[in-house]
Structures are given as C-alpha cells and as structure tokens.
Structure 1
Amino acid sequence: MRILLLIFACLFCMGQVSAQSPVRLAVAGLSHGHVDWLFNRAPEKKDIVLVGIYEPNQELAEKYAKRYKLDQKLFFTDLGKMLDKTKPQALSAFGAISEHVVVVRACAPRKIHVMVEKPLATTFADAKEIQNLTQKHNIQVLTNFETSWYASNQHVGNLVKEGKLGEIRKVMVNDGHQGPKEIGVSKEFLEILINPEKSGAGALMDFGCYGANLMTWLMQGQKPTSVTAVVHQNKPEIYPKVDDEASIILQYPNAQCIIQGSWNWTFARKDMEVYGDKGYAVAVDATTVRQRLKENTPEEVAKLDPRPEPYGDPFSVLASVITGKLTLDKNDLYSLPLNVTVVEILEAAKTSAKQQKTILLQ
C-alpha cells in the first residue's frame, strides 16, 4: 500500500510540474510592429517559452537578434522546418495579414495552435479556410486586438449584459492616429500597411476592424443586416494604394453602429460609445468609463483597475487557452467564430466603398 501511495504521489507531482510547464511558443514573422510586445513582456512571466522564430528577411532577423540579445539558433528561414524542429505548442503570427492563412495551413496539420494580430484575414474566403482548418485539425486560432485588454470595454459590455443600458440603439467606435508613417512605424511594418495585397486595405482594415470586433461582441455574434462604407485618400502622396480615412455604418434590426477609422487624426484614440434605451456608457480609454444610467441622475466617471491576469496580456491568454485554464466563449473578442464575422463585415465594407452602395448581408 505504501508503495502504491508513493507511486501516486510521484505521478501527482509530475502532473503538477507538467501543468505548470511553460507553453512552447514559436513566432512567424517579425515585420508586424506588435511583435515587440512579446519581447518586452515582464521577465517574471513564465507561462511561455520562445522556441523558434521564422523570418526570411535576414536583415530584420539580425536586427531583432541584436536588439533583444536573442540566440541565433532560434532563427529559421523556412517555416515548415522551424515547426518540425522546434515542435511548438503554439505560434504567434507577426507578418502580413495576408499570410495568416498560410501560417494556419502549416500549423493546423501539426496540431499547433495559432494567435494572429488583428484582423484575422484580408478576405472572407481566407477567414473561412482558416475556420475549416481549425475544425478539421481541432486547433485554436485566436485574434489579438489591443482593445480586448481594455477593462473599460469589459465594463461597458457587462452593463449591456446586465440590462443597465437597456437595448442597444447606437454604438460609435473611434480608432485612429496621425498615420503609420507619421508616427514612425518600422519600414517593414509600413510596407505591409500600405500594400492592399498584404493588409487588405488601409485605415478601413487597420482601424475599422476594432469597431467590427467590438460591435459583433456586443451583439453576441449577430451579423448586421447591411454595411455601408465611405473611404477617402486625404494623403495620396503618402498612401497612394490604400485609403487613409474610413467610415463604416453597420445596420441591425434595432441598432446601428458607426465605425470611424482614420490615419488623419491629430493624436491617437481608441474609444467606444454605447447608447441604449435606458442609458449610455463611453469607454474613454483602457481604464476610464463615463456613464449615465438614469435620466434624472448626473453622468458618472468610473476609474477601473486593469483587467486581471491572464486578460491583460494576449500571450497569457493564449497560454491559458492551450493549457485548459481558460475556455473562450464563441463570442469572445479573441474567438474564431466572432472574428470570421468581423472579416465578412470588413469585406462588405470594402465592396460598399468600391461600388458606392449599401451591401446587404442578410
């Protein structure tokens, strides 16, 4: 009996160690500016371990190796070879948006989970292919949006769920900055953003995706009945191939969402206004909400703590999902079904702007 108890204790301890082992993470691409979030994580976070980096641009690879003092053995110029040799459990994609489907094609048969930067894909066809691959090979594909980390958006979402705002009538989502070149993004990232084949569009995709993501989340996955978009080039000398200004209207049976994405604003902003038939709430920034829940009461300002772990860090979210500590709802901001709908909305918006007419989705 004592021997059996010892064996059980050893197995239990091994299971605990295994459960606490960091997730083996690989990176595909270094050209997307958000990749620095990974290398700048707090050193005390031990939930992931970097095992490989795929980057065919040798100059770019050397720049990152030098900047973050990375071992040259981490770097590969062939995606398949990197996956087979390093055997990651998960991969974060930081290349062009158009390459997301290529990455998932490589990872899915190998049972490697994937997290991509927003949006999920440049076309609805690619988004559907990604969804089909995840279902066939039983992997997770998450889409990371900065606004998913915001405590303010979660607070407003909870007000909606609790019925404190009533039924949603209008939502306005504003996302933008002075322009990618103006704020000094890297030459590799800029080359992606100004190339419609790689990015899908300009401000319409780069910033319009935030509003489509948040509104689909607030509406619990419901698609709009129609999409209307207007785009413009205020700076064609800088962005000759893509739009730098976009306005998108999503119409629902009883609600409307206006999404404003811009590369022309005087300073960066990411905020959301939600108006119901009982009250309103404005997510001013990541931790500030203005709200008025009754007609005869003054507006209140709520200062919030940042979201608790793992929600304040996309890599912690990814690790928690893979290890089973966290199960995403199908309409979570990171979830695949919701973000397939986001790409469908964005594609309709591009079509609307091109054809100068409203596109019906239902």
Structure 2
Amino acid sequence: MKDKLRVGIIGCGGIANGKHMPSLSKVKEVEMVAFCDIIEERAKKAASEYGVDGAKVYTDYKELLDDKTIDVVHVCTPNRSHSFITVDALEAGKHVMCEKPMAKTSEEAKKMVEAAKRTGKKLSIGYQNRFRPDSQYLNKVCRRGDLGEVYFAKAHAIRRRAVPTWGVFLNEYEQGGGPLIDIGTHALDLTLWMMDNYKPRMVVGTTYRKLADNENAANAWGPWDPKKFTVEDSAFGFVVMENGATIVLESSWAINSLQIGEAMTTLCGTKGGADMWDGLRINGEEFGKLYTLKPSLDASGVDFYEGESENPSEKEARTWINSILNDTEPVVKPEQAFVVTQILEGIYESAKTGQPVYFK
C-alpha cells in the first residue's frame, strides 16, 4: 500500500479553492502534484498555495492525465465538462472525485458509471453534506429502522435571495440549470440516501423565472445581471418511487419565502419522522405518547459546523482517500449519484413538456 497518493486538480476555480484543495491539504496521505486550469494564472496560484515542490501546471487536462505517477484526480470544472473529463481520467488509470452534480444529463452520468466499472477505478461525487454530524446521525437512525418505512419525504434547498453571481452559475450552457442542479442536487442526494431508495418510477416538475429579470435586486452577493441569468430561479419536483414512496423537491436561489434552508430533508415513516428545521429533530410515538428527540450535536449552521475538529468537506476528503488506500467502497457511490442526475433531468424535462416523465 502506498504511503502517499499523488493528486491532480482539474479546475482551479471557486469550488477547488473553497473546498477541495483546503480539505486535501489536511489529509497527510495526500500530495497535490499537478494543477490544471484553462486560465494558467489560476493553476499557478493553486500550485504555489497547495502544491508540493515542483508541482506541475497545465492548461490542457489531457497533459495532466498523461502523467502516470498521478493516482487520483479531482474534477472541479463547470458541470458541462464533468463527464468527459471524468471518463478520460478513469481511462487514464486515475481514481476520480468529481464535484457535484455528477453531470448535466443522465446519459453523461451513465458513461461515468460505465467507465468506472470498465476500468476498475474508484469514482465518487462531491456530496459533502452527507458528512455533516446531523446527516451522519440521521443516517444511522434510518439504517437501524427507527423511522420504519419512509413513504413521504421533502428535499429542501430554498434561499430567499442568494443568487451566486460569480463564475458560470447563471450560464445554462455550462451548468445545465440553476438552483435545481446547483443546490437541489444536495437536498435530493441527502433524501435518497436517508431513504436508501434509488428506484424512481415517475416525476412531475416545474421551473420558474419569476425574479431573474429584476434589475438591482436585493441579493446576498450583490445584484445579478438579468442578461446573464439564463437559468431558472426556482424549480420544484414531485417524485414517485417504484415502491410508492413520494418525494417533494423544492429549490430556489430567489423566492419570497421566510422559511429558508438548504441541503435539508424531512422524512415521514411508519414508525417515526425526522426533519432539520430546528437542528435535527426526530419524532415518534412511545407508550401511547408522542415524543420529539433533539440530539446534541454541538454544532451550528447548515454546511459547516463549529466545535468540530473536522468540517464536512475535510471528512469527505479523508474518507475518500481512505477508500482508495484501503480498497473500500466510497461513501457516495456513482450509481447513487446517477439516480440523482436522472431525477433532476426528469424535472427539467417535465417542466419543458408539461408532462410526467416515466423512468424505465
């Protein structure tokens, strides 16, 4: 077994700097040896901040993949290029962590799953919210069967006014969509993971552009440019699973609602329920009485927690690297991420056609 894994970063923009590279730098079994970005200065900056001495810099990802000493690649590019870069990296003999969502379409996502099986290399997708303390606790509760059969759930990804105005978030060609594919994907992944149900039967979806054309709008990151806002501002889905379970998915970057929260789930089962609206709350009935349990997780916030020695992104990175070193399955399996992409694509398709989308 190798003592250190040599990692290459493809895409040195916001998500690489905000999540991947800082998290990998905390994993002692990792050396970041190569950095690629279409803007060379970004790759050089990343190499100087996170790379080993002599780290290589590239503007063509295929040149990075030609380096046979690289063991692992992190794909941190816009959604449009996730699939073909990941497939090329797997074919080049690299294990791949690809940032969420898996791909713009289920066809592209399927190619990634097939490439991982064909090459025998590990593939995982960056759903770091699974590694939050509340998510980990709730998943154990679900696996133990405390909630019984979860037959109704909600996946929440609602912001009142927090449209990302940097990068290519507003660009439909690069991203494939707006809040649904950006933050709705996290909420749906969490919900399916808790339910351990990856067999959708049909979906009905709606998308809206109701606030996107507002000039000088109030926004957490400053007003957006309506001319560049080529995606939806809100999207909603009604999903029916093969076993009859129902999931309602709500996602928005800008909506007139005071009930906000993202990467959250509500679960209703035959024995109990759970939600994340006031910390993690688990509810049920015992001895003829109703109860609500609020486990103390010594944490605050949604994405990142205080009082924790390791934030979710760091735990994701360490767990991912350990899965390679110990030859175990990644926590986020590509087959699971494929179903997330399948459902998101179904919502977009249903919104366009006005018809339900049925899965084979």
Same fold (TM over 0.5): yes
- Alpha-carbon deviation of 1:204? 1.4
- Alpha-carbon deviation of 1:49? 0.8
Determine the C-alpha separation between the residues in 2 that align with 1:294 and 1:358: 36
Q: Does 1:121 align with 2:103?
A: yes
Q: After superposition, where does 1:30-179 map in structure 2 within 5 Å?
A: 30-41=12-23, 45-62=27-44, 64=46, 73-85=55-67, 87-177=69-159, 178-179=161-162
Residue in 1 that maps onto 2:333: 335
Determine the C-alpha separation between the residues in 2 that align with 1:110 and 1:198: 24
| Alpha carbons of structure 1 residues 262 and 311: separation in structure 2 relative to 1, 3 Å | closer
CA contact (8 A) 1:216 1:223 kept: no
Determine the C-alpha separation between the residues in 2 that align with 1:228 and 1:39: 38
- Alpha-carbon deviation of 1:169? 2.1
Q: Which moved more, 1:108-117 or 1:160-169?
A: 160-169
- Alpha-carbon deviation of 1:28? 0.4
| Alpha carbons of structure 1 residues 119 and 245: separation in structure 2 relative to 1, 3 Å | same
Q: Does 1:240 align with 2:229?
A: yes
| Alpha carbons of structure 1 residues 257 and 46: separation in structure 2 relative to 1, 3 Å | same
- Alpha-carbon deviation of 1:289? 1.3
- Alpha-carbon deviation of 1:59? 4.0
Q: After superposition, where does 1:203-352 map in structure 2 within 5 Å?
A: 203-237=179-213, 238=226, 240-252=229-241, 253-264=243-254, 269-284=262-277, 288-294=279-285, 296-304=289-297, 313-324=315-326, 326-328=328-330, 332=331, 334-352=332-350
5+ residue gaps in structure 1? 1-17
- Aligned-pair identity in percent equals 20
Which secondary structure state, in structure 2, belongs to the residue aligned with residue 39 of structure 1?
helix
Which residue identity does 1:323 align to in structure 2?
L
Could you tell me the TM-score, scaled by structure 2's length? 0.82
Which secondary structure state, in structure 2, belongs to the residue aligned with residue 261 of structure 1?
strand
- Alpha-carbon deviation of 1:217? 2.1
Which residue identity does 2:357 align to in structure 1?
I
Determine the C-alpha separation between the residues in 1 that align with 2:69 and 2:76: 18
CA contact (8 A) 1:35 1:94 kept: no
CA contact (8 A) 1:64 1:70 kept: no
CA contact (8 A) 1:32 1:95 kept: no
CA contact (8 A) 2:266 2:276 kept: yes
CA contact (8 A) 2:35 2:47 kept: no
Which residue identity does 2:198 align to in structure 1?
Q
Which residue identity does 1:345 align to in structure 2?
I
Which residue identity does 2:11 align to in structure 1?
G
Q: What are the superposed Cα offsets for residues 27-76 of structure 1, whole Å, 9 maximum, x if unpaired?
A: 00123435322333386531211010011213433554576698684311
CA contact (8 A) 2:9 2:36 kept: yes
Which residue identity does 2:322 align to in structure 1?
S
* Residue among 185, 197, 201 paired with 2:177: 201
Q: What are the superposed Cα offsets for residues 323-358 of structure 1, whole Å, 9 maximum, x if unpaired?
A: 126434xxx4x1011111111111111101111222
Q: What are the superposed Cα offsets for residues 84-143 of structure 1, whole Å, 9 maximum, x if unpaired?
A: 236210000111111112212321222101001111110111111111211221111100
Which secondary structure state, in structure 2, belongs to the residue aligned with residue 260 of structure 1?
strand
Determine the C-alpha separation between the residues in 2 that align with 1:50 and 1:82: 12
Q: Which moved more, 1:306-315 or 1:222-231?
A: 306-315
Which residue identity does 2:236 align to in structure 1?
S
| Alpha carbons of structure 1 residues 89 and 309: separation in structure 2 relative to 1, 3 Å | farther
Which residue identity does 1:293 align to in structure 2?
G
| Alpha carbons of structure 1 residues 57 and 169: separation in structure 2 relative to 1, 3 Å | same
- Alpha-carbon deviation of 1:278? 1.9
Larger Rg: 1
| Alpha carbons of structure 1 residues 233 and 70: separation in structure 2 relative to 1, 3 Å | farther
Pairwise CA RMSD: 2.8
- Alpha-carbon deviation of 1:211? 3.0
Could you tell me the TM-score, scaled by structure 1's length? 0.82
Which is richer in helix? 1
Determine the C-alpha separation between the residues in 2 that align with 1:298 and 1:105: 49
Which residue identity does 1:291 align to in structure 2?
I
